């Protein structure tokens, strides 16, 4: 998993409803298999749609508790 979290609703007043999970997978079929094994999906508590996504750019800044920093651009 690369990242996950809820999306702001259309009224822009709450974090509820839809969300997004970004998976790193070798293929679309592998991503679908990963999504299908999620316990919430298997139980029918949530539905999902798997869509391909092309990551064009990423900036990562991490600060560790010991004060060290890692920046990847």
The answer to whether the CB of 62 falls within 8 A of the CB of 70 is yes
Sequential pLDDT tens for the chain (73 residues) = 878 888 988 888 988 878 899 888 999 999 999 999 999 889 998 899 999 988 888 787 777 776 666 656 5
pTM for the structure as a whole: 0.64
CB 71 within 8 A of CB 60: yes
Q: Give me the domain span that covers residue 17.
A: 3-72
- Domains in the chain: how many in total? 1
């Amino acid at each position: 998993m690369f990242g996950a979290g809820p999306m702001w609703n259309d009224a822009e007043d709450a974090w509820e409803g839809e969300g997004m999970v970004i998976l790193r997978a070798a293929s679309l079929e592998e991503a679908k298999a990963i999504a299908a094994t999620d316990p919430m999906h298997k139980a029918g508590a949530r539905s999902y749609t798997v869509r391909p996504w092309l990551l064009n750019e990423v900036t990562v800044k991490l600060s560790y508790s010991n004060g060290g920093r890692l920046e990847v651009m």
